[in-house]
Amino acid sequence: MKHLTNNLEIVQKEVEKLLKSDKTGHSYDHIKRVVGLTTRLLVDEACEYTALMIAYLHEIFDDKLLLPYDNLDEIYETWGLVKTEHFSEIEKGIKSIGFKGGFEVSEKSLEAQIVSDADLLDAMGAIGIGRAFYYAGSKGQPFHDYELEGVVATDYVSYRSKNKNVMGHFDEKLLRLKDFIVTEKGKQIAQKRHKMLQLFYDTFYEELKEGDVNEVKD
Ligand code: ADP
């Protein structure tokens, strides 16, 4: 039990150090919210330690972040973590998290499913909207592009393409997220967050019309 508490403390501190200066919406704040939501979504049948380790480490191998680790063994060794029987579930769990445009849906353990729901919930609602604008700004992408209206990615490569805008991201990801949430508690929170996304999206296009010269002339 002491090993588990120690491991969690070390992981929390190391992940905070690594991500605190991130400027793409994957900062340590995101990790903290996912850990918090994971705790809220936990059910008795799930292993809390495994779920929390996956939550803290779920971004650690993300290719967008260019972090210096290739695998979990390396992390355990460098950070001085004690290997317990949860290791392979944590390793598999970390690899199974990530929306990937909805094109690559992987099998998940109960713990990974809980973290995945927590991660998706953090891309929804008011916080999700804030993160999307922040991400696009950090990549120099516009928040809306008339040319790209209605264009949706058809595979993972086009989903990750550079030619993007925030309102398009609502169509390709944010407004679809509620359908990828699996846990009961997650679905309840998702309902409220989806409403916020939809309200923002509808209002955005209403306001766009108000400022459209062709609409004003009619
Ligand atoms: P995932 O890998 O689960 O798709 P990301 O790590 O790519 O999630 O996304 C991190 C955050 O940035 C999320 O809030 C996501 O919605 C947002 N984001 C990702 N791609 C874009 C984009 N092209 N435009 C705006 N926001 C984006």
| pLDDT digit string, tens, across residues 86-99 | 999 999 999 999 88
How far apart are alpha carbons 52 and 38 in whole angstroms?
7
How far apart are alpha carbons 99 and 55 in whole angstroms?
15
pLDDT at 68: 84
**Which residue range forms the structural domain that includes residue 75?**
2-217
Asked if 41 and 186 touch (Cβ cutoff 8 Å), the reply is yes
**What does the pLDDT profile of the chain (218 residues) look like in tens digits?**
788 999 999 999 999 999 887 776 678 999 999 999 999 999 999 999 999 999 999 999 887 777 788 899 999 999 999 999 999 999 999 999 988 888 888 899 999 999 999 999 999 999 999 999 999 998 899 999 999 998 888 998 898 888 899 999 999 999 999 999 999 999 999 999 999 999 999 999 999 999 877 765 55
Sign, CA torsion 69/24/98/32: positive
**What atom of ligand 1 comes closest to residue 64's alpha carbon?**
6
Kindly report the CATH number assigned to the domain that includes residue 161. Answer: 1.10.3210.50
Our count of domains for the chain comes to 1
Give the residue, out of 22, 173, 177, with the most ligand 1 atoms within 8 A of its beta carbon, to mutate for a pocket test.
173
pLDDT at 218: 52
pLDDT at 148: 92
Does the CB atom of residue 98 touch ligand 1 within 6 A? yes
For atom 27 of ligand 1, the residue with the nearest CA is 132
Does the CB atom of residue 99 touch ligand 1 within 6 A? yes
Mean residue pLDDT across the chain: 92
pLDDT at 122: 98
Question: Does the pTM exceed 0.85?
Answer: yes
